[in-house]
Structure 1
Amino acid sequence: MNKFVLSLLSTVALHSVTAQAADLAPVRMPPTQVGTWTGLYVGGNVGYGWGRYDASNATGTIVNSNGGSGIYGFNVESRNGNGVTAGLQAGYNWQLEQTVLGVEADWQYLNSKAGTATSAIAVPVFIGGNFSGSTSIETSWYATFRGRVGYAFGPALVYATGGLALADIKVSSSATGSIVTALFPPTLGPLGSMSASDSSVLIGYAVGGGLEYALGAGWSIKGEYLHMGFGTKGYNLTGSLQSPAGLTGVITTHVDIKPSFDIARLGVNYRF
């Protein structure tokens, strides 16, 4: 009987010690996401843009009041146009476990300008003389409409983005010229001047990525890089030639422009 009681007590004690040890063992919990990225958000950003304007196929025509006409050509140079960018963005995210899908639209100011060096323009023989002219290119705003796919870990979200881009590109040109007024001795007189501009909204693509960090209470900060590319657009710049000597006419300049931009920016968002 005593042996039975001792055996029973030993079994109960061993079970109690095992249960206590199990209670003290560390419990592995599955990783949890801090907050959620799901919801509508709005925000602003500021950054810097590196612009590239590839220029080609520059030609021109002159038609004067005397019934003469001709074709001329001139050198055009590709240039960089860098400047500050700032704007607003809005979007919506859907979080599925640690995967975050979203859409975003933004509108941005961009101070990007580039000018070609002044170059000589040969005037056709029927006129006799020369022009010196210059061309400038300017981008004052751009906008993007993009999708986003990211991975959330803790308060951070790393993402890739891509979609549609729009940019307003304005090309301006000016020229002043001289004309042969006498052959013996050779004498050049003022031919006149012209100026013209043409602008259009180009459609292209935007790709990039970024890192966003949740601060709490709906606020987050982000750093983002975008590359935007656009196809080649032909610009026709037509201006009226006004001469002190009474010679009038029309000058039309054609140039093809292919712009691209690299944008780095910092922003802040508020999620509702």
Structure 2
Amino acid sequence: MRAFFFGTDVWAGAPATAALLVWAVLAIPLTPVRAADLDYAALRGAVMDDKPTKFGDWSGVYVGAQAGYANTNVDFGNAAGDLVAYALRDTIIEAEAAVSGWTVLPERDARRGVFGAFLGYNSQWDDVVLGVEVNYNYTDLSVSAQDKLRRSYVTSNQYTYDVGLDSRSAVKIVDYMTFRTRAGYVLGSFMPYASLGVAVGRASIDRSASVSTTAVDYSGARRPTLSLDPNPTTISETKNNEFAYGVAAGLGVDVLVTESIFLRGEYEYIRFVSLSKARADINALRGAVGVKF
């Protein structure tokens, strides 16, 4: 017996209908199986493993080498003042006019390359890094100044003194070290930082002062003209490997190239205040490469 539906032979469409049903039955389980696989992969951490780390690792010991360029300004001022004071010791002109405190010498600049090495240790809390570092720099910063000054001064004993000063001073900074603390903030592979510490420098110092005085009596008492013996009197001093002390501050940024290698760019300011009465300011720009362990 045959049945007709909308003019279509049911028996004729039976094979196509059966094939469609078989496909539907086979396809239904595929979706949950795949979802289960994805859920299982997520539970295993396959997706989480690909998530990038928020902070770079800067903790531990590190060492490095550096090179750069430095400008040194030396204010000699009265760098030879103690030599003048010794030449005029026990004289009324020094007691009343304080000749040794006169500013004779100007400021001078010098520019040289610097290179050296550093050793440090970092401790890290999330994106904050605190550390200590020893920094060594070798250079050849030579600065010198020479000038003359002449003045007249009337003392309480009614003598008019004509005083001439001829001073010279030279400073050569051989090398210096800084002992500093650092504070940094991690921005991915970058760590900008600030540093503050103390500086110790080694220098050679050569200075001299030539002092001449002639005192004329204008009181009318016809007292004799006074002068130094010898006139002029010259005193000089040379020091090698003299230590100078000061402060250091800087700004910079370290950049991770690999997990253990980093690059550095840095500006550092140093002030030495004990270079035999002279004051030296160093402004240095440096680049460096380091390895952390």
CA distance in 2, matches of 1:156, 1:103: 18
Distance 1:83 1:148 in 2: 26
Question: Which is helix-richer, 1 or 2?
Answer: 2
1:136 paired residue number: 170
TM-score normalised to structure 2 length: 0.61
Rounded Cα–Cα distance in structure 2 between residues aligned with 1:221 and 1:56: 40
Structure 2 counterpart of 1:114: 143
Q: Which has the larger radius of gyration?
A: 2
1:170-204 deviations in whole A, cap 9, x for unaligned?
A: 431246799xxxxxxxxxxx979764224642322
- Who is 2:256 aligned against? 214
**1:168: how far off?**
2.7
Percent identical pairs in the alignment equals 26
1:100 is aligned to 129
Task: Quote the Cα distance in structure 1 between the aligned partners of 2:85 and 2:188.
Answer: 64
What amino acid maps onto 2:284 in structure 1?
A: I
Does the alignment pair 1:201 with 2:249? no
Indicate whether 1:85 and 2:106 are aligned.
no
* Residues 44, 87 of structure 1: 8 Å contact kept: yes
Matched, 1:32 2:63: no
The aligned runs of 1:1-272 (5 Å cut-off) are 31-33=52-54, 36-57=57-78, 59=81, 60-61=84-85, 75-119=104-148, 132-174=166-208, 195-198=236-239, 200-216=242-258, 218-230=260-272, 232-233=273-274, 235=276, 256-272=277-293
Contact 1:55 1:77 in 2 (8 A): yes
CA distance in 1, matches of 2:191, 2:288: 14
Q: Distance in 1 between matches of 2:249 and 2:130?
A: 16
**Aligned-pair RMSD on alpha carbons?**
4.4
Equivalent residues, number: 237
Residue identity opposite 2:57 in structure 1: T
TM-score (structure 1 length as normaliser): 0.65
Letter in 2 for 1:110: T
Shift of 1:233: 3.4
Q: Which runs of 5+ in 2 are unaligned?
A: 1-27, 40-46, 152-158, 213-230
Structure 1: runs of 5+ lacking an equivalent = 1-11, 179-189, 236-255
Q: Which residue matches 2:18?
A: none
What amino acid maps onto 2:238 in structure 1?
Answer: S
2-structure distance, mates of 1:175, 1:149: 46
Q: How many angstroms does 1:34 deviate by?
A: 6.7
